[in-house]
Amino acid sequence: MNAPRALVFAGVQHDQLRAHLFPGDGLESAAVLICSRSAPSRVRLLVRDVLPVPHNACRVRQPNAITWPGSFIEQALDIAESDDLTLVLLHSHPGGLFEFSEQDDRSDREVMPSLLASHGEFHCSAIMTPDGAVKARWYDRDINSQDIELVTVSGHDIRYWWAQNAAPDLLKRRPIAFTSAMRTEMGRLTANVIGVSGTGSVVAEQLNRLGIGRVKHTDFDIMELKNVNRILNSTIKDAEAHRLKVEMFVEAVAHYRGVGVAEAIPLSIFTREAIVAAGQCDVLFCCVDSLEARQIVDLIAAAFLLPLFDVGVVIPTRNNGEMPVIGDVCGRIDYVQPGGSSLGDRGVYTPDSLRAEYLRRNAPDAHQQEMEAGYIKGVIDEAPGVISLNMRAASACVNEFIARAYPFRHESNELYARTQFSLAACEEDYFPETFFPHKACAHVLGRGSKEPLLGLPFLSLPREKEIR
């Protein structure tokens, strides 16, 4: 079993935990995190459940010490053993010390041997300071410890805390947006762009040039001549050779970032391999043209506690009596935080729209429905001149990520869960997180790589592999 390289919270989990650990009395408090995992090669520990230790159950609670009953660890172990989960023993440092104390070292040496003897290949301990910062380390069966490289929270803001051996230059202060320090930190992150076509290629180009350390590009489609006018880095030769979009794009990135930064995943997002690859990332960008694909990405973000940025454009038309005319030119950017409102909650897809898409795909003679599925609703145009609209929306999408990870807005990011713009009306509208319900993906929150993936039977591991 691979050691964890990241510990990941949903914002709602982190808020709950912080409120419990710092009740205002200046004394240490404790909790147990029950974590699932992403699949190797890069293992991310995903907080699935939080088990707070009641303050009045602790035998000792002091500003720099705490003693709490082992029954809470036993309760957490019962949960962990059934699904092969990992435990993180976490307590607060009210004084603000962002280091493990000698007392913490002694306590871990006493507890971890029995914990590891009961279950698992590794378990962890962690501390939290009043500002919400978390530092974590993992112990193997020989009780050797090592710092977890990254702790991250995806809430209204996206927060990162790095281990000293991973990023010594990022310990004292957070980078400022749009600076070289921001680029340095981005160089330690992994992003996944799902859908590398008209809008997705523009998103991917920005991420690669901003300096994201590794960018995965997921798309199964091939280049066609009709695509060349709106897919960055594409050429007529690529279309004539019927090259995969992701292979063409990754080859182009290598010319300005070097080999190995961009990775091609020439698969549908409905495949196990693509889902597992997405679960190993730090952030998702959804640029697909299918509602069913958006539903899958929604589930991936919730199951693997990933921040998700979804972008879409549309040009509705109206009939003036003789021919269609442009009614509007619109773009939409949604930021989805795990545990918050999903794309489904926001109406990006609905049961009816998913059903209609399925029927359209399986009834190719339905000419009118196919026509309405394009960029320009009501106009058949296989090579629409929409690159300027795609660039406008893609830029807003990437800037939304920067605003979350390196806050620069005058107001709280909570107010900007969705951005919609109309080029025809020269307007932008914003919707807060509280505007939407929160229910569609709650059943898979923090599920990780538990079988079947995303809770969907068609993604089940083949039985012969499961037995092995």
Q: Measure the CA dihedral 14/15/16/19, to 10°.
A: 120
Using 50, 70 and 90 to split pLDDT, how confident is the model at 303?
A: very high
Q: Determine the average pLDDT of the residues in 421-438.
A: 95
Burial readout 90-123 (b: 16 or more C-beta within 10 A, e: otherwise): bbbbbeeeeebeeebeebbeebbeebbeeebebb
User: Does residue 61 contact residue 39 with C-beta atoms inside 8 Å?
Assistant: no
Distance CA 98, CA 96 (A): 6
Exposed / middle / buried, residue 234 (Cβ in 10 Å: 0-12, 13-18, 19+): buried
Q: Is the pLDDT of residue 372 over 60?
A: no
Which one, of 287, 329, 335, lies nearest residue 427 by Cα? 329
Render pLDDT for 259-277 as a digit per residue (tens, 0 to 9).
Answer: 999 999 999 999 999 999 9
Beta bridge partners of 135: 127
Distance CA 246, CA 252 (A): 10
How does DSSP classify residue 108? H
Q: Is the pLDDT of residue 463 over 90?
A: no
Where do the structural domains in the chain lie, given as residue ranges?
4-170, 180-467
Which CATH fold would you assign to the domain 180-467?
Rossmann fold (3.40.50)
Q: pTM of the entire structure? A: 0.94
β strands within 306-462, DSSP E: 308-314, 317-319, 324-326, 330-336, 418-422, 427-431
> Which element (helix H / strand E) includes 134?
strand 134-139
Of 67-76, 159-168, 191-200, give the lowest mean pLDDT range.
159-168
Render pLDDT for 85-109 as a digit per residue (tens, 0 to 9).
Answer: 999 999 999 999 999 999 999 999 9
CATH class of residue range 4-170: alpha beta
pLDDT top residue among 357 and 49:
49
